Amino acid sequence: MSFEIIKRDTNFDFFGARKYAYAVSAVLLLICIASLLIKGGPQYGIDFSGGINVQVKFSEVTPLDKIRTALDAPSLAGVIVQDFGDAAKSEVLLRIPYKDQPSAEIRDAVNQGLSQNFTDQTYEIQRLEIVGPKVGADLREKALQAIFYAVLLMATYISGRFEQKWMVAGLMAAGLASVVYVLELFNASMSLSVVVATIATLVLCVVLRLKYALGAIVGLLHDVMFPLGLFSLLNKDVDLTIIAALLTIVGYSLNDSIIIFDRIRENLKGKTSVDFEKVINTSINQTLTRTVITSGTTILAVLALYLFGGSVIHDFALVMLVGIIAGTYSSIFVATPVLALFKPKIEGDQKAAAAAVA
């Protein structure tokens, strides 16, 4: 007797629940976007904004206000003190505006302030990083470019693989890359260039009827916005580690969508039904076991990293955890239902064959 997580004859009405899923996603996305707009975008870490990060571990839990008072010195003006990782581990992160001075002077200033005010406990400076503002701005632009071009190239691949529109998709990708390049020549910010190019990509997918690419891009935007919005709500920094996690999520989510897209394509070729919406629902149910097993095992691994990986990898694991959950959800309830906007025509002998199967 074989064990099955999900029965083969399972027929959940995922497609029928899409409106409720859209409503839930819309509310959550509005909250995320509102938080980002109110705060002027993501809170960039030292990698992107420039400055000085000092990670300090205390022997016991210490009030942040007491640390701020201890570090009230001209050389540390504007210091921001925040918990780092699990607050119970008594680790704090000091964020200091960029100053053109040696790291040894910064370390001495921190040591002097802490040693004079914390005589009843011990502390250790575990890390000190300095990044110039110019380097941070360059890294921020490169990170935005990386995410945009990753999404664009994946959309091109999907259009070629599932719709055999390699030429059309290639021209679209080249055109959008040119738009970003021209905007850069006019000194437009990379954030504005990426937003304009992303909107243009969605419009072109609709006009050119690149339905699989459109579904994938909508799903990917959905999956990237959730972690960014969550970090904005939690006042967490976005750094290079988080960008790496977002790119990983983009690849993971796309792979999950491709599995379902491939089954939809097979069922369309097999003419299993004249109702395209039924084909979509059947395909999702047929791949449900694979989705549950893959996502479930990945979530368990990332959850272990989140709980036991330590403060250094804590935020990375959090982004991965939220992104994988959002990616699995979007593959079923967001990306795939978008295909129904471009229902293929099934006529004549195809209808007869489909009716015979039904």
Which of 175-184, 238-247, 257-266 has the lowest average pLDDT?
A: 175-184
pLDDT exceeds 60 at position 307: yes
pLDDT confidence of residue 3: 52
Q: Are strands 123-131 and 80-83 parallel, antiparallel or unpaired?
A: unpaired
What is the rounded CA–CA span in Å between residue 165 and residue 217? Answer: 16
Question: Which pLDDT score is estimated for 1?
Answer: 45
Angle at 269 between CA 350 and CA 255, to 5 degrees: 150
Which helix (H) or strand (E) covers residue 128, if one does?
strand 123-131
Give the pLDDT confidence of 204-240 residue by residue, as tens digits: 888 888 888 888 889 888 999 999 999 999 888 888 8
Q: What is the pLDDT of residues 33-78, one digit of tens each?
A: 999 899 888 888 777 777 888 888 888 888 888 888 888 877 777 7
Exposed e or buried b for every residue in 62-83, given b needs 16+ CB within 10 A?
beeeebeebbeeebbeebebee
pLDDT for residue 6 = 67
Instruction: Specify whether the CB–CB gap between 163 and 264 falls below 8 A.
Output: no
User: Using alpha carbons only, what angle is made at residue 312 by residues 303 and 251, rounded to the nearest 5 degrees?
Assistant: 55
Model pLDDT, residue 357? 41
Higher pLDDT, 262 or 188: 262
Whether the per-residue pLDDT at 303 is higher than 90: the answer is: yes
Per the structure block, which two tokens stand in for 64? 């942040």
Report the C-alpha gap between 284 and 287 in whole angstroms. 5
pLDDT of 350 over the 50 cut:
no
How many residues in total does the chain contain?
358
Phi, psi dihedral angles at 80 (to 5 degrees): -110, 125
Helix (H) or strand (E) holding 182: helix 166-185
Write down the pLDDT at residue 66. Answer: 86
Tell me 214's DSSP state. H
Arithmetic mean of pLDDT, 124-134 = 81
The dihedrals phi and psi of 124, each to the nearest 5 degrees, come to -145, 130
Token pair 């004859």 in the structure block, residue: 9
Could you read off the pLDDT of 308-322 as tens digits, one per residue? 887 778 889 999 999
What is the CA 86 to chain-centroid distance, rounded? 22
Q: How confident is the model at residue 351 (pLDDT cuts 50, 70, 90)?
A: very low
pLDDT at 349: 41
What pLDDT, in 10s, does the model give residues 264-299?
Answer: 888 888 765 667 888 888 888 888 888 888 888 999
Short-list 107, 121, 56, 47, CA closest to 84:
56
Amino acid at 180: V
Phi, psi of 54, deg, nearest 5: -130, 120
Q: Contact, 334 vs 222, CB < 8 A? A: yes
- In the prediction, which pLDDT does 72 show? 80
What CATH code would you report for 51-131?
3.30.70.3400
Q: Name the pairing type of β-strands 123-131 and 91-96.
A: unpaired
Question: What mean pLDDT is predicted for residues 18-27?
Answer: 90
CB 281 within 8 A of CB 13: yes
Q: Which residue has the tokens 């978008």?
A: 338
Q: How far is CA 336 from CA 14, 267, 275, 331, in A?
A: 10, 14, 15, 6
Say which range, 8-12, 108-112, 276-280, 351-355, has the weakest mean pLDDT. Answer: 351-355
Scanning the structure block, which residue is given the tokens 């664009």?
152
> Taking 50 as the threshold, does the pLDDT of residue 347 lie above it?
no
Contact 313, 285 (CB under 8 A): no
Give the integer Cα–Cα distance in Å for 16 and 20.
9
Check whether 8 has a pLDDT greater than 70: no
pLDDT for 34: 93
- CATH fit for domain 15-43+148-164+190-344+351-357, picks 1.10.3470.10, 1.20.1640.10, 3.40.50.150, 3.30.565.10: 1.20.1640.10
Distance from C-alpha of 32 to C-alpha of 81, rounded to nearest angstrom: 25
- Across the beta sheet with 51-58, the strand order is 80-83, 91-96, 51-58, 123-131
Rounded Cα distance between 313 and 302, Å, is: 10
Per-residue confidence (pLDDT) for residue 343, from 0 to 100:
67
Q: Could you give the CA distance from residue 241 to residue 262 in angstroms, rounded to a whole number?
A: 32
Q: What is the pLDDT, as a whole number, of residue 317?
A: 92
Structure tokens at 206: 């609709």
Domains of the chain by residue range: 15-43+148-164+190-344+351-357, 51-131
pTM: 0.78
